[in-house]
Structure 1
Amino acid sequence: MAKKKRQTKASIQKRKEIIIFGVCIALIGFSLIGWFRLGFIGAVIDNSMRVVIGQYTIPYYILIIVILLLYLIRPDAFERSPIFWIGITLLSMSVILLQSLTFDRSLIGIPLIQMFFKEIPVIFSNPSANAFGGLVGAVLYGLLSFLLDREGVIIFIFVFFLIAMGILITPTKLFEPVSKGAKNSKSWFERHKERREESKSKKELETSVDAMIDSNYEEVRANFVSLDEAEKKETPVVKDTHKDSSLFMTLDDELEVQKEDTAIVEPLSKESEEVKKDDEVVSVPSNAVANYSNYRVPPLTLLESQKGGTRSSANAGSAKAKADRLIAVLKQFGIEATLIDIHIGPAVTKFELKPDSNVKISKISSIQDNLMMELAVKTLRIEAPIPGKSAVGIEIPNVEMIPVKMREVIQQTTNFNDPNNINVALGKDLMGKPIVVSLNKMPHLLVAGATGSGKSVCMNSIITSILLTKKPDELKLLLVDPKKVEFTPYVEIPHLIGPVISDPMQASMALKVIVDEMDLRYETFSKTGVRNIGSYNEKVQQFPQEGLKRMPWIVVIIDELADLMAVAGKEVETSIQRITQLARAAGIHLIVATQRPSVDVVTGIIKANIPSRIAFAVSSSVDSRTILDSTGAEKLLGYGDMLYIPMGEPHPTRVQGVYVSDDEVRRVAQRSSDQAKPTFDDAFIKLDGVDGNHGIVDSMDDPLYEEAKDFVVREQKASTSLLQRRFKVGYNRAANLIDALEQNGVIGPANGSKPRLVFVQAAEEIE
């Protein structure tokens, strides 16, 4: 007999969506049938509605149809604050009570409800009979009229109506200040003043742009070249404004500049055509911040809740038995100790022991292997002594591991959405306390561990935490994924400052662009008289008339450092050193991960400049020392079990990392990408134009261009490797020179394994 095919989560979800779709369509159909009283079924539906909600049923039919259609078109629109649905309920109650005022004035309370029950058969059978406010209205009106009399009911209707309209028209303005506090809100007059100033500045900007265009018209006309001359100079579509453009150029300004530049643009290269075809991505300078006023961070409902509780009776029973056995084993070795406390964490139980005063701590550490055998556990870690306590900690694995869900950690943390911090849900410690860290205080992080230890899940939890708290104009991400599979869900999120980079050489160049951005920010801080990004953004908010633009944080996440070090070790190390030493005040933070924590990957310079570190399970104590400067990581269990040592702390903390499933990551990333598309900085699109020693260069303006052209004409052969050897430059710069020579007609295109043709003879003078 054939086995029944197991259903996947995707198929179950698909079936659920089909059922919901069918139910919505059926309800819409029944609403239309009842609205127009089509046949016997229509009469039954309409009469039933009249009995329940009163005489006027058409508004409720319309409300039902609109809500169902909205759910079919935009399901995410239903994930509103509960206060919105409270407004709908209050408005419906107001209308129903208003209809109920037609009841006999002499009837209140229970007699009124009894009278309505007697009238139900008449109302159901006779469409012309007055249904008043229906059964709902009769119950509400009867209760309120008994308590408050008829005049009190009228006041209630008026109050309900005002509250409902206030909620439905301006829910954010009315209720968000109450929940967030008056300090995070602005008065109506302040907002009105800001809008007037913004409108005024926009008009001044338009006037100045018009004046600039008028003044430069003759110059532009004089410099207009013919089509034959233009074909010799190829202008790329994506302009390099990373260094030359003003730091505070707005998005509208940049688009105007691009529009003027492309008005007389020459034929495009293949690479530029591919970039231009991608209409899903906009290229702007890193300082041009798009408008994300309508963007909403993904809700916590997209994350899975904790199932089965956070406590296990099996772990509790096992911990008590292990504690008794532990004390007995220590006595066998002549160690007298008292059990102080037991902490049962998600994956590990920690026993706190206080040895007698005549017992050496080293004696307990020396019998670690004996304790493992006597307690029958696969691993055991001794913390001797526990920092800040006169006790020794012995950690053993739990019988049952309880996963830590990100939603639970966030809900148990106060002020997780702090706008002044980049908070990340890391996990829970052995006490069950949620561990939430701030990237601002780290300020850089090294994550290392063997394959399958939980490193990738940790990286996903960091990115997901950022997506749940920060808008794209508040924080930008640069993701480096040499394996090409780890950051796939994030390729379309609007927080990206550039495409997800998978080429190690391009990643090395991207780090140099980040260094350039850091230098530009410090120049801006110097001009504006501030010391860090926090003070700068406060000044932007306090003095909008100066025309400054808010700077977003930039978080660089490198998934595998080993690949980068193998390709361009010295350049990568230098860039990481500069970023980690200087970038904190500029709002740039670096997170580096590797599954090969050897000294040739995590060098002394890198480790010395990254103060915060996370170590997952590793294979040897040598690797543990490379990461943490101490042993212990070789005793971890894997599956998210980590040792976290923040900046300034002498000892690591054992943490069970949060578990974020692939479905949760996909839902959060999808919700973010559905609201906006990524706006890439042009410097990260043109990484092939970045030289390893001189930053961003244009091949036509490269000082080596004329010399390279003379060399190629003289030798009558051309290749990238030839230019690399001759001029001692990197691959990217040499390749750009070859492309420029081809575009100007000096050499021919690549022809497989055959050498390129050189069209210019040595005796000719090349213009």
Structure 2
Amino acid sequence: MVFILAISEGGVSMIRKLLYKAKARRALIQAFRSAGLFFKNAKDRPVYPIIHDVHINEDDESLRYVFTLLNGMDPKEVAKKKYVFRQHFGRHLELKGDLKRYVLTIYSEAMTEELAYVAQEIAEAVQKHGLGIICGKDRLGRYVSFDMRKQPHILIAGETGSGKSTQLRSILTTLIRTKKPSELQLYLGDCKKSEFHIFRNVEHVQCVLSSAKDIAKMLRHIKKELDERSNLTEVFEVSHVDDLPAAQRRPYLVVCIDEFVMLRKNEEIMEILTEVVAIGRTLGVFAVLSMQRPNAQVLDTTIRANLTVSMGFKLRDKMEARIVNTPGAEALEVSGRFIMNSNKIYEIQAPYLTIDKAKALLDPYIVSKGPVKEVTPEPAATKLTEEDVFFDVIDEKR
């Protein structure tokens, strides 16, 4: 515990003086002893897990251990005894691993436990991206964001109260504030009828739907759009819709469905969603799917393989965390904290955006909707079919 205090009191220079590797190694062995993570050899001497590396990171003032369990040691005991490591090293640590190999990282400072949504800061964090998605701040207090054009589809999962809904609100609000309606169209499915009402009259938003019947109509339109865009890229011999001639350019489409697990029994919906995540990136069509309880039957291998970014807020157990591909999400204790798996695994604190603040930020983008919102313009000499116009959305669009 002495060397952890030295980090906070004396900074990196003190670390160099006090945290030499031998002392740090002895400290970990003491933790192993307290946790009962050792065997007795023939001479009745304790044999501890193998410590492969002790590394001091000056950038974030952290100490990282890499160790492996001996054959026969129960990995479950490591998870059970995490409290012992905290007793030795303090609460600001991460313990990651499975079966044999583990990485224990000890930080000098804790992550923030609440991050206010500051519109200007977040706009600056995503401005470098063509279609910027805000994630939050990492352990070093740096904003993490990514370009949806390069990492095209997102899965968000988390228990009630974990911060999942706020993250959806932040992502959609940021997209609306940073892209013009001519550049971005949003199609929202709100299966719980509780999350997306604040976006209903935003100019970018084409529809906010709640029933499986209406969402199926919406996705038929999306499928038609996929087909048209695919034909255009073939006709003009380009590999991405961004490379089409200016006269043929199409806005980016983002389909966001909250609690899409409720649609699992509708084969048509699941088939179209599978097609969107499989081929949508080059056609400028993207998906954001969220659920409270991850289900392996809903997240089949095709969908899961193409959801390039996973955000796992607090989940019930390791099985759910494994389904979402966010190891450690079952152990999160802070609301708004999540594990993100994209090019690498991050632990991030999501921005906290209240409904009232979101409404204020969205107010400049509110428009008066007409009685019927046409999804596609009517071609010359061709009448719109029922699938071209969302008749059932008339009341919702008023």
Instruction: Say which SS state the counterpart of residue 435 (structure 1) adopts.
Output: strand
Aligned to 1:607: 304
Residue pairs, 1:668-679, within 5 angstroms:
668-673=361-366
Equivalent of 2:329 in 633, 636, 643: 633
CA 1:378 to 1:431, structure 2 compared with 1: closer, same or farther past 3 Å?
closer
User: In 1, distance between residues paired with 2:120 and 2:146?
Assistant: 12
CA 1:341 to 1:384, structure 2 compared with 1: closer, same or farther past 3 Å?
farther
Residue pairs, 1:405-416, within 5 angstroms:
405-407=116-118, 410=121, 413=124, 416=126
Amino acid across the alignment from 1:563: M
Aligned to 1:367: 78
Higher helix share: 1
Instruction: Say which SS state the counterpart of residue 518 (structure 1) adopts.
Output: helix
**Does the 8 Å contact 2:189/2:256 carry over to 1?**
yes
**Superposed displacement of residue 550, structure 1:** 3.4
1:434 equivalenced with 2:130 (yes/no): no
CA 1:677 to 1:408, structure 2 compared with 1: closer, same or farther past 3 Å?
closer
**Superposed displacement of residue 364, structure 1:** 9.8
**Superposed displacement of residue 489, structure 1:** 1.0
User: In 2, distance between residues paired with 1:556 and 1:412?
Assistant: 22
Higher strand share: 2
Amino acid across the alignment from 1:353: Y
Instruction: Say which SS state the counterpart of residue 515 (structure 1) adopts.
Output: helix
CA 1:491 to 1:340, structure 2 compared with 1: closer, same or farther past 3 Å?
same
Q: Which has the larger radius of gyration?
A: 1
TM-score computed with the length of structure 1 as normaliser: 0.40
Aligned to 1:560: 259
Residue pairs, 1:220-299, within 5 angstroms:
none
Amino acid across the alignment from 2:362: A
Aligned to 2:268: 571
User: In 1, distance between residues paired with 2:58 and 2:120?
Assistant: 18
Equivalent of 1:382 in 61, 82, 95: 95
**Superposed displacement of residue 507, structure 1:** 0.7
**Does the 8 Å contact 1:352/1:391 carry over to 2?**
no
Deviations 1:8-39 (A, max 9, x none): xxxxxxxxxxxxxxxxxxxxxxxxxxxxxxxx
Deviations 1:423-479 (A, max 9, x none): 111012223222111111111111112211111011011101102210111100001
1:656 equivalenced with 2:349 (yes/no): yes
Instruction: Say which SS state the counterpart of residue 198 (structure 2) adopts.
Output: helix
1:472 equivalenced with 2:177 (yes/no): no
- Structure 1: unaligned runs, 5 residues or longer: 1-312, 541-547, 691-695, 698-731, 733-767
**Does the 8 Å contact 1:372/1:379 carry over to 2?**
no
Bigger relative CO (Cα 8 Å, ≥ 6 apart):
2
Equivalent of 2:210 in 487, 499, 502: 502
Deviations 1:65-114 (A, max 9, x none): xxxxxxxxxxxxxxxxxxxxxxxxxxxxxxxxxxxxxxxxxxxxxxxxxx
CA 1:384 to 1:431, structure 2 compared with 1: closer, same or farther past 3 Å?
farther
**Does the 8 Å contact 2:114/2:336 carry over to 1?**
no
User: In 1, distance between residues paired with 2:309 and 2:180?
Assistant: 25
Amino acid across the alignment from 1:513: H
**Superposed displacement of residue 667, structure 1:** 0.9
Deviations 1:359-413 (A, max 9, x none): 759969543322314636999752249xxxx982347998784322343883695
1:534 equivalenced with 2:242 (yes/no): yes
Amino acid across the alignment from 1:417: Q
Aligned to 1:521: 229
Aligned to 1:11: none
Calculate the aligned-residue CA RMSD, in Å: 4.1
**Does the 8 Å contact 1:496/1:680 carry over to 2?**
no
Instruction: Say which SS state the counterpart of residue 598 (structure 1) adopts.
Output: coil
User: In 2, distance between residues paired with 1:352 and 1:687?
Assistant: 62
**Does the 8 Å contact 1:618/1:634 carry over to 2?**
yes
**Superposed displacement of residue 330, structure 1:** 3.1
Residue pairs, 1:305-384, within 5 angstroms:
316=8, 328-330=30-32, 332=34, 333=37, 334=48, 340-341=55-56, 351-354=63-66, 366-373=77-84, 375=86, 381-384=94-97
CA 1:634 to 1:669, structure 2 compared with 1: closer, same or farther past 3 Å?
same
**Does the 8 Å contact 2:242/2:249 carry over to 1?**
no
CA 1:664 to 1:350, structure 2 compared with 1: closer, same or farther past 3 Å?
farther
TM-score computed with the length of structure 2 as normaliser: 0.74
Aligned to 1:451: 160
CA 1:412 to 1:529, structure 2 compared with 1: closer, same or farther past 3 Å?
closer
Aligned to 1:417: 127
**Does the 8 Å contact 1:644/1:653 carry over to 2?**
yes
**Does the 8 Å contact 2:186/2:253 carry over to 1?**
yes
Amino acid across the alignment from 2:356: D
Instruction: Say which SS state the counterpart of residue 364 (structure 2) adopts.
Output: helix
Identity of aligned residues (%): 22
